[in-house]
Chains A and B, each alone.
Chain A
Amino acid sequence: MRTSRRLAVTAAKAGVKARTTARAAAAIAATAVVAVGIAACSGSGGSSAIGSGNGTAATGQKIQGGTVTVAWPDGSAPNLIFPLPPATNTNGYDLNFTQMMWPYLVAEGDGGQSAIDPKESLYSSLAWSNGDQTVTIKLKPWKWSDGVSITSRDFTFVYNLLKANVPNWIGYTQGLFPDDVKSVQTPNSATIVLNLTRSYNPDFYAENVLSQIPLLPQHAWDKTSVTGKVGNDDETTAGAKAVWNFLQKEGGDMSTFTTNPLWKVVDGPFTLASFNSDGNYTYVPNKNFSGTVPAMSKVVNEQFTSDTSELDALRAGSTLTVGQLPQNDVSQIAILKSEGYDVVNQPIPGVAGTLLNFYNAQTGPLVRQLYIRQAMEDVTDRPQIVSKIYDGYADPGNGPVPTTAFSQWSSPLEKSGGPYPYDPAKAVSLLKAHGWKVTPGGTSTCQSPGTGATECGAGITKGEQLSFQLLYSAGTTTNDEMEAAIQSSSEQAGIKLSLKSEPFSTLASTLGQCTASSHPASTCGWQLVDYGYDPYSLYPTGNSIFNTDGVNNLGGYSSPEEDTLINETEYGSSAKTFDQYEDYTAEQLPWLWVPLPSTIQVYKSNLGGFAPLNPFSGGINPEDWYFTK
């Protein structure tokens, strides 16, 4: 499986998308440190069909109360309770830990839909004006757990803290919130008016920016010391810095997560009842929650050190209510069902691909040629990878937008299989047409160097081989299988791939961003890399990933047309523009598209409200769950 849990966690470190990824990470099964050991534990499983994201609704009468136990992967232990982690924070799970207590202004994912959830969002209306340069946010008349009303002052508190402390906020993206806010007005306690520095696509701003902003209790947290009084310290830069430092310090003290009075004031559906540093913690419902108070009386979160140990616990019929199943263990489904579990798969909202280093001294000139990228994509048999390696539980990877998780945003081209269906013969003819001597099973070589239409292209020398090293994230069997399949099918066109797997952190430590202006040998020695996937927020824009100056554009892909289209998806408001961006990106191959495996969730069959799964929370929404009898 290619999206290891560790990988997903690390993907969450990317910044703004941390919450999505972190929660999705919980749902991603992988990392078999001792995968071979599974064989020893395997019974006579036998495969069984998995339900779709909608799952099987639990039948029976809804009951109030009960304890639900959720399995979390290794490395998911939270270590910060303050919901605005600093830039040095490396734990994407901190955000999904705090989100249950301090939810975001805009809630991502409505049941199984990739849409805003108005029920769980903190706003009652968003109105755009002034050419989409001003947004007026009306808050719901909700209250904090101590009975104080949630007001626009709580928003300005967050804004002041962030404004004074960026870039030291994990969610900071240069140019976006709070940089893009010209002024904030609060005409009354329930209304916030944001005057922005430019027009935005309202979908993008609500779904990708406001969905990352929690409201925080100014009346309880606006102070600079434990014994200090709550005031309006945030209203000066120095004061906001002092408040920030105080809250970060208090928020990092794990021994006081459940006792510090600061963290007892929440506006989410849950409050923290117990916590231990091993990653096991318990929520209980916030009795004063202004939304629907959860039915569960307790949510126990338990961290497992490996998929194997988690699977063993599920197979042993333990108290686990919700867990995850690695893709290479789908044969265990029958056994899990016999232990009283149901199984459901959930497409992941993200984009997967093999990254190309356009500025590698050796292979950069090769991948700068579109026809070579096309040939490499033509020999990738994505449908077969989906069916044979992922048992059908994966997005085919037809382009930048996953058709399974974002059907409403997928263009007809992507839905029909994308611009490059598997066609090795076409790959061979493309290479031949550009002056290559194609050696199936061997390594093709350039015979006609030059920049003409029938020549290899700029920077490619005579006799140069079509050969690459492909780095990928180690630790999952299905991932190994997929890369081996790509390596094997590439041989049909004489494209030689040397595979090298590394632990994700090792891979990340040497993987630098390479651009036309900066591509040092120390961090730009990589040629091709597949580290997993990049997560999307609700609006699946390619900004930061495929635009020339995108912070997540590691390989240095650059196209003025791509930049224009991406800008239009963010700053314009035409749905047609999105399709144009999507198709252009799919065709231009800034990455080589590969399938993205789904999450497979396991849950007790008497757990209601579990399905349909919210793709943006990895299906972990205990506020909606209940037991049936």
Chain B
Amino acid sequence: MTSYLARRAAQAIVVVIGVMIVTFILIHLVPGSAARAALGVHATSTRIAIFNTTYGLDKPVYIQFADYVGQLFRGNFGISYTLQQPVSTLITQRLPGDILLLGVSTVLAVAIAIPLGIYQAVKRNRLSDQLLDGVSFTLYTMPDFFVAFLLIALFAVQLHVFPPEAPQASNLGGMLADPGALVLPIATLTVSNLAGFSRYMRAAAIDVLAEDFLRTARAKGLPERLVLARHVLRNSILPIVTLIGLTFPNIVAGAVIVETVFSYQGMGLLFFQAATSHDYPVLLGTTLIIGAATVVGNLGADVAYGILDPRIRHGNA
């Protein structure tokens, strides 16, 4: 297991370095001037020259890359052109809130989807399954922003139960101090994730329910409750583990639509705004973090596979 982890970690580092190189090249291939994008249409040549000198944009691209890598090894992600703050500070400010919003909603979605999927698999093709299928498909086809607006229209505008904004505090403590404001954004993200997770869980559980070893378990007199908990759950959860692994980078990348609708300054908006304003340091910094999260998420999924399925752990699968 240790050598397996070490091998996967080494691969992960190579992938992250590759992401950094490709992103740097792609960003610099985008037509247009970063200085003009940041300073606006009326930037004078003097201001543009000062801007380019300040941020090293007047140097050849390969020197810019070498400078960037050098700074990166010193823990410096650079300064945002538009926000004029260190990128590491911006990420540090925004990441905890996103982890809270997206992390809680993912956990909730998984916690609901797993029993729901197993329930639907057990009740396959019955009325309750078909009803839940209908609901799942409806939610699955609804875009995030539409769910958000429905929830806001009902719970904020009509009923005045929850505020239409996410908490406006800039730290986790402040956000948690306003739990009512967390409800609608978390509910939106949970609903959006729930449908996908439950569909996967249902399909996997149906496959497992048809396996011979379940007949054996039941023949040995194992109660149905334990059959589901010990055998169906453990064997059908593998696809969900993959999904969670793939979802992990989303937690770090933020959710630009939900952040926009609920007025929350998260990683998604940071990335979106950087992309539209040629803010190279922020783009590079966030891409690097998201790339690392993707690798870690997949690594985590692989490890979880190994724990859940001994055949993988022992290299038999």
Interface residues of chain A, those whose CB is within 8 Å of chain B, are 10-15, 33-34, 36-38, 40-41, 43, 74-75, 77, 79-80, 86-91, 167-168, 170, 172, 174, 252, 254, 276-280, 302-306, 308-310, 312-313, 315-318, 503, 505-513, 523, 531, 534, 551-552, 554
- Cα–Cα, bound, A276→B173 (Å): 14
- In angstroms, Cα B47 to Cα A88, docked, is 7
Residues A37 and B149 in contact in the complex (CB < 8 Å), given A168-B50, A316-B164: yes
- What's the Cα separation between A317 and B89 when bound, in Å? 34
A24–chain B nearest beta-carbon distance, Å: 15
Residues of A within 8 A of B84 (CB): 79-80, 88-91, 252
Chain A residue at minimal CB-CB distance from B52: A88
Q: 14 extra interchain contacts, Cβ-Cβ under 8 A, other than A41-B152, A86-B50, A510-B36?
A: A12-B40, A34-B145, A40-B150, A88-B50, A90-B84, A174-B46, A252-B84, A277-B93, A279-B265, A310-B263, A312-B156, A313-B263, A509-B37, A551-B42
Asked whether, in the complex, the Cβ of B265 is within 8 Å of the Cβ of A90, the reply is no
Q: What is the bound-complex CA distance between A222 and B169, given in angstroms?
A: 35
Give Cα A505–Cα B85 distance, bound, in whole angstroms: 19
Which residues of chain B (261-309) have a CB below 8 Å from chain A? 261-265, 269, 273, 276-278
Report whether A312 and B278 are in contact in the complex, using a CB–CB cutoff of 8 Å.
Answer: no
Whether A15 contacts B157 by the Cβ 8 Å rule is no
> In the complex, how many angstroms separate the beta carbon of B58 from the nearest chain A beta carbon?
13
B-chain residues with CB within 8 Å of residue A74 when the two chains form the complex: 269, 273
Give the contacts of B142-163 with A (CB-CB under 8 A).
Answer: 145-146, 148-150, 152-153, 156-157, 160, 163
- Complex contact B263–A306 (CB within 8 A): yes
Which of B26-34, B193-201, B237-245 forms contacts with chain A? B26-34
A95 CB to nearest B CB, Å: 14
Which residues of chain B come closer than 8 Å to A551, judged between CB atoms? 42, 44
On whether A10 and B41 interact (CB within 8 A), knowing A41-B157, A90-B82, A167-B50, the answer reads yes
The interface residues of chain A, by DSSP majority, are classed as: loop
Q: Is there an interface contact between B40 and A306, defined as CB atoms closer than 8 Å?
A: no
Is A79 within 8 A of B36, CB to CB? Answer: no
Say whether, besides A305-B260, A313-B263, A511-B36, A87 and B51 are in contact (CB < 8 Å).
yes
> Shortest Cβ distance from A7 into chain B, in angstroms?
9
Report Cα–Cα, A551/B55, bound state, in Å: 23
How distant is the Cα of A305 from the Cα of B255 in the complex, in angstroms?
Answer: 13
Check: B257 CB closer than 8 A to any chain A CB: yes
For A33, the chain B residues whose CB sits under 8 A away are 260
Q: Which residues of B contact A (CB under 8 A)?
A: 31-34, 36-47, 50-51, 54-55, 81-85, 89, 93, 145-146, 148-150, 152-153, 156-157, 160, 163-165, 168-170, 257, 259-265, 269, 273, 276-278
- Among A74, A75, A508, the most chain B Cβ lie within 10 Å of the Cβ of A508
What's the least CB distance linking B95 to chain A, in Å? 13
Q: Specify the chain A residue showing the minimal Cβ separation from B150.
A: A40
Determine the distance from Cα of A34 to Cα of B264 in the docked complex, in whole angstroms.
15
Residue with the highest number of chain B CB atoms closer than 10 Å, among A80, A168, A303, A304 = A304
Which residue in chain A gives the minimum CB-CB distance to B53? A88
Q: Which residues of B contact A304 (CB under 8 A)?
A: 165, 263
- Cβ-defined contact, B164 with A312, below 8 A: yes
Chain B residues in 8 Å Cβ range of A168: 50
Q: Which residues of B contact A40 (CB under 8 A)?
A: 146, 149-150, 153
B183 smallest CB distance to A (angstroms): 13
Cβ-neighbour of B38 out of A90, A305, A313, A510 (below 8 A): A90
Contacts A15-B42, A278-B170, A509-B34 given: A306-B160 contact, CB under 8 Å?
no
Complex contact A318–B36 (CB within 8 A): no
The distance from the CB of A28 to the nearest CB of chain B, in whole angstroms, is 15
Residue pair B82, A508 in contact (C-beta under 8 Å): no
Check A41 against B149 for contact (C-beta < 8 Å): yes
Which residue of the partner chain, among B44, B85, B262, contacts A79 with CB atoms under 8 Å?
B85
In the assembled complex, how far is the CB of residue B283 from the closest CB belonging to chain A, in whole angstroms?
12
11 A-B contacts (beta carbon < 8 Å): A15-B44, A43-B157, A77-B265, A168-B50, A277-B170, A305-B262, A309-B260, A312-B152, A316-B152, A316-B156, A505-B38
**CA of A29 to CA of B109, assembled, Å:** 36
Task: Please determine whether A37 and B261 come into contact, CB atoms closer than 8 angstroms.
Answer: yes
Listed from nearest, the 3 A-B pairs whose CB atoms lie closest are: A509-B32, A40-B149, A13-B40
Complex Cα distance, B174 from A278, in Å, reads 13
In angstroms, Cα B190 to Cα A221, docked, is 52
Among B40, B51, B260: residue with most chain A CB under 10 A: B40
Bound CA span A462–B207, Å: 73
Nearest residue, chain B, Cβ from A474: B276
Closest CB of chain A to B222's CB: distance in Å?
49
From A304, which residue of chain B is reached at the shortest CB distance?
A: B263
Given the known inter-chain contacts A37-B145, A278-B170, A312-B152, please indicate yes or no for A79 contacting B259, CB distance below 8 A.
Answer: no
B261 engages A508 (CB within 8 Å): no
Contact yes or no, B164 A313, CB < 8 A: yes
Residue ID in chain A nearest B39 by CB atoms: A13
Partner of B33, one of A11, A12, A509: A509
- B200 to A: closest C-beta gap in Å: 28
Chain A residues near B269 (CB, 8 Å)? 74, 305
Q: State whether A318 touches B164 (Cβ < 8 A).
A: yes
| CB–CB B157/A305 < 8 A | no
**How far does the alpha carbon of A254 sit from the alpha carbon of B84 in the complex, in Å?**
10
